Amino acid sequence: MTTTGSTKAASTAAPAPAPAPAATARELGLAHYAARGVLEYVLARHGATFAQQIALRAAINADAPQTPDELVAQVQGALKADPAGIRAVFDELLAKELLVADGEHLRPTEAGRELFAAVAAETAPISARVWGGIPAEDLAAAGRVLALVTERADAELAALTA
């Protein structure tokens, strides 16, 4: 009987990777908080909070000038937080001169835009390392799952608070 290289190749081949565990609420939450932890670390170096960043983003990304009530509604949709707490965040941004009242609207100041841009610039390479190399089909599947979880959780929250 002759010996072939296939026997040796089979014995030195790396074992097949273990299948990935199914996503659970815990894993989804841990991923969220891991990514948020990175953002909060960067924000803290700039003297800002996560809620302030979300509120500032709403003002910066608005297509048209927004009233405080409109901005509170947008941020509440994102953070699922109490409107009074969100109003306090907008008051903080006004006090820091990151937002300014312009009649009945709030608009970002140059300092607010600069802070937002600085945080985005610092987190972009980190995000690229975190998200880089994930196959497009995996990202698409994750996107579908997360959209469904968000939809269902929003419906449950609406029912609880009705």
At 127, the amino acid letter reads: S
Question: Which pLDDT score, from 0 to 100, does residue 20 have?
Answer: 76
Question: Which pLDDT score, from 0 to 100, does residue 15 have?
Answer: 78
Question: Which pLDDT score, from 0 to 100, does residue 109 have?
Answer: 97
For 28-89, what is the HEC assignment? Answer: HHHHHHHHHHHHHHHHHHCCCCHHHHHHHHHHHHCCCCECHHHHHHHHHHHHCCCHHHHHHH
Question: Which pLDDT score, from 0 to 100, does residue 11 have?
Answer: 54
Buried b / exposed e across 40-79, counting CB within 10 Å, b at 16+?
Answer: eebbeeeebeebbbbbbbbbbebeeebebebbbebbeeee
In angstroms, the CA 23 to CA 4 distance is 42
Question: Which pLDDT score, from 0 to 100, does residue 18 have?
Answer: 77
**In 3-state terms, what secondary structure has residue 2?**
coil
Question: Which pLDDT score, from 0 to 100, does residue 21 have?
Answer: 76
In angstroms, the CA 57 to CA 48 distance is 12
Spatial CA neighbour of 56 closest among 85, 102, 96, 98: 98
Question: Which pLDDT score, from 0 to 100, does residue 14 have?
Answer: 72
- For residue 106, what is the enclosing H or E element? strand 105-108
Residues of the chain with pLDDT under 70: 1-12
Query: And the tokens for 109?
Result: 């100041």
The contacts of residue 46 (CB under 8 Å, 6+ apart) are: 115, 118, 119
In angstroms, the CA 72 to CA 31 distance is 26
**In 3-state terms, what secondary structure has residue 99?**
strand
Question: Which pLDDT score, from 0 to 100, does residue 16 have?
Answer: 76
